[in-house]
Amino acid sequence: MTGFLYQMLSPFYLPYFVELEITALRQSLAKPGGVRQRTIGDFEQKMLLLARDLGLKRNQQVTVLTDLPEDTKVVFRDFCGKSGIGLLEIALEGFREDDITFGESDRHWNAHAQELIAEQLLSQLKTNRSTRPGER
């Protein structure tokens, strides 16, 4: 029974777990007075590679949606590029977290944040599509 439940629920848990770990990484990078790290931790790399491998087994591309500090983006882009992990970057700096999330007890993006993100993603997808040879 446990194996069956794990198989049924694992597609839902891994993205949530990866999201939590990336959020924790982002928060640790932005601690006031702290030194910003410019690397991605070994644990985070292994989790992302595990997610990539699971996606490949299911013939799916893993793409990470990220909003990281500027000094970390370069390292993360490099890691994703070398690892065959897709990367979509968004920028929500300049917005108070309370304005783009549901609230203190639920840090998921609200409708306003989702609209901002959708606009950014649409722009990236149009740019990516126009840079592919032979496509319009």
Give the tens place of pLDDT for each residue, 67-126. Answer: 887 778 888 999 999 999 998 888 887 788 788 888 777 778 888 888 988 998 888 888
pLDDT category, 35, cuts 50, 70, 90? very low
DSSP type of residue 84: T
Q: Tell whether pTM > 0.75.
A: no
DSSP type of residue 17: H
Asked whether 68 and 29 are in contact (CB, 8 A), the reply is yes
Domain spans, the chain: 2-89, 96-136
DSSP run (H or E) holding 103? strand 101-103
- CA 66 – CA 42 distance, rounded (Å): 18
